[in-house]
């Protein structure tokens, strides 16, 4: 994206493309394999639960082309009435919550803004409720697919699962040095008792949830990355098993932090964007944490969930105190 913008700005200024600065990019996925350990050890407890058993549905979905997969997800989200809300939280407010959580932590621990924000998002979703009207459910194959990723009201989840993609480039220096532009991320899952997240929202509770997220993030080392990449290559449906066979909303959240991607540093020749945001929902109970416009000191949380879930989240007192609905 940065290179595209750089080229357009160069042309908009009337400059000759031959004078365009040279950049080196590496899109060869095999380069990543050359940077990770070749020896594969048994995965530890923090990675075992990430690779749940698959089945015919996940294998069929993995067999589909990427464009078909996107169309199926888009249709499922349309049928599932996934809505979008954008919230703003200031750095000042987030830092205040972070400081109060660190003060109550039993051990001196580094908790980042992202750890605290992930904890707040997990607590909010865990405290939301969801309801469906069976009379409005579609029938056929899409109903089977939708049922696999929808809330099952007959079961009471005991564990809340927070999932987050983690960029591996900072963990593998060779990738950063070669300008690797592939999908250099792995997924890490954090599981906490849902009863803990549904209790009174105190600094102690936030600290506990944030600490588990920090522990999981720090566990992503070279060996974890090696195990993850090899497992996904060996079983291509691995990436989608959690969607079809894992925990269902509201006992599940996927949150991806994009605040370091520099959305508002991109200039195609007519200035930085006035607004940068995803176009469509990719899945229910999905959050994108985005940078706010430079005129604001904070972050934007793009929440995708059912209308019922979003309505319940907005009623939570801690959410009202920290987050402002902007769109």
Q: In which band, very low, low, confident or very high, does the pLDDT at 119 lie, cut at 50, 70 and 90?
A: very high
Pairing of strands 252-257, 286-291: parallel
Read off the pLDDT of each residue in 297-324 and give the average, rounded to a whole number: 93
Read off the pLDDT of each residue in 120-125 and give the average, rounded to a whole number: 94
Average pLDDT over the chain reads 81
pLDDT at residue 175 in the model: 81
Q: End-to-end CA distance of the chain: give it in Å, rounded.
A: 25
Instruction: Fill in the DSSP letter of residue 21.
Output: P
Of the listed ranges 144-153, 158-167, 289-298, the least confidently predicted one is: 144-153
Strand order in the sheet with 82-90: 185-193, 159-167, 252-257, 286-291, 298-306, 82-90, 324-325
Read off the pLDDT of each residue in 259-269 and give the average, rounded to a whole number: 88
Of the listed ranges 144-153, 169-178, 228-237, 252-261, the least confidently predicted one is: 144-153
CATH of span 57-129+139-325: 3.30.559.10
- The candidate with the shortest Cα–Cα distance to 190, out of 172, 224, 222, 164, is 164
- Which range, 47-56, 117-126, 226-235, is most confident? 117-126
Q: In which band, very low, low, confident or very high, does the pLDDT at 135 lie, cut at 50, 70 and 90?
A: very low
Read off the pLDDT of each residue in 276-301 and give the average, rounded to a whole number: 86
- pLDDT digit string (tens) for 60-84? 888 888 889 888 877 776 776 788 8
Of the listed ranges 16-20, 134-138, 173-177, 247-251, the least confidently predicted one is: 134-138
Residue 136, pLDDT above cutoff 70 = no
134: which residues sit within 8 A by CB, 6+ positions away? Answer: none
DSSP percent split of the chain into helix, strand, coil, nearest 5: 45, 15, 35
pLDDT at residue 249 in the model: 55
Read off the pLDDT of each residue in 3-17 and give the average, rounded to a whole number: 88
- pLDDT digit string (tens) for 79-118? 767 888 999 999 999 999 999 999 988 776 789 999 999 9
Which carries the bigger pLDDT value, residue 263 or residue 234? 263
pLDDT at residue 250 in the model: 59
Which carries the bigger pLDDT value, residue 326 or residue 47? 326
pLDDT at residue 282 in the model: 61
Residue showing tokens 């522990």: 215
Q: In which band, very low, low, confident or very high, does the pLDDT at 146 lie, cut at 50, 70 and 90?
A: low
Read off the pLDDT of each residue in 245-257 and give the average, rounded to a whole number: 76
pLDDT at residue 50 in the model: 55
Q: What percent of the chain has pLDDT over 70?
A: 82
Residue 211, pLDDT above cutoff 50 = yes
CB atoms within 10 A of CB 295: 7
Residue 146: both structure tokens together: 């939708």
Residue 190, pLDDT above cutoff 50 = yes
User: Whole-angstrom Cα distance, residue 24 to residue 309?
Assistant: 45
Q: Is 52 helix (H, G, I), strand (E, B) or coil?
A: coil
Residue 151: both structure tokens together: 């809330």
pTM above 0.85, yes or no: no
User: Whole-angstrom Cα distance, residue 126 to residue 121?
Assistant: 9
Which carries the bigger pLDDT value, residue 53 or residue 162? 162
């Amino acid at each position: 994206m940065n290179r595209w913008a750089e080229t357009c700005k160069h042309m908009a200024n009337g400059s000759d493309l031959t004078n365009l600065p040279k950049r080196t990019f590496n899109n060869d996925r095999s380069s990543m394999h050359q940077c990770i350990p070749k020896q594969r050890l048994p995965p530890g407890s923090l990675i075992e639960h990430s690779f749940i058993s698959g089945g015919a549905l996940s294998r069929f979905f993995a067999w589909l082309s990427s464009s078909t997969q996107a169309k199926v997800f888009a249709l499922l989200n349309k049928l599932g009435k996934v809505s979008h809300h954008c919230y703003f939280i200031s750095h000042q407010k987030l830092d205040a919550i972070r400081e109060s959580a660190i003060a109550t932590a039993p051990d001196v621990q580094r908790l980042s803004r992202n750890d605290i924000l992930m904890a707040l998002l997990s607590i909010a979703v865990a405290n939301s409720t969801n309801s469906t009207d069976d009379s409005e459910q579609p029938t056929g194959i899409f109903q089977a697919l939708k049922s696999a990723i929808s809330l099952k009201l007959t079961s009471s989840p005991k564990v809340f699962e927070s999932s987050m993609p983690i960029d591996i480039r900072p963990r593998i220096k060779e990738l950063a040095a070669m300008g690797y532009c592939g999908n250099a991320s792995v997924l890490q899952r954090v599981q906490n008792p849902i009863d803990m997240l549904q209790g009174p929202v105190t600094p102690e509770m936030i600290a506990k949830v944030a600490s588990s997220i920090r522990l999981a993030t720090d566990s992503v080392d070279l060996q974890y990355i090696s195990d993850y990449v090899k497992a996904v290559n060996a079983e291509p449906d691995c990436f989608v098993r959690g969607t079809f066979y894992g925990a269902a909303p509201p006992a599940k959240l996927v949150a991806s932090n994009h605040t370091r991607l520099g959305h508002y540093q991109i200039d195609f020749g007519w200035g930085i964007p006035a607004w940068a945001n995803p176009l469509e929902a990719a899945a229910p109970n999905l959050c994108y944490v985005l940078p706010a416009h430079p005129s604001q000191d904070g972050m934007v949380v793009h929440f995708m969930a059912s209308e019922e879930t979003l309505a319940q989240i907005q009623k939570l007192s801690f959410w009202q105190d920290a987050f402002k609905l902007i769109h």
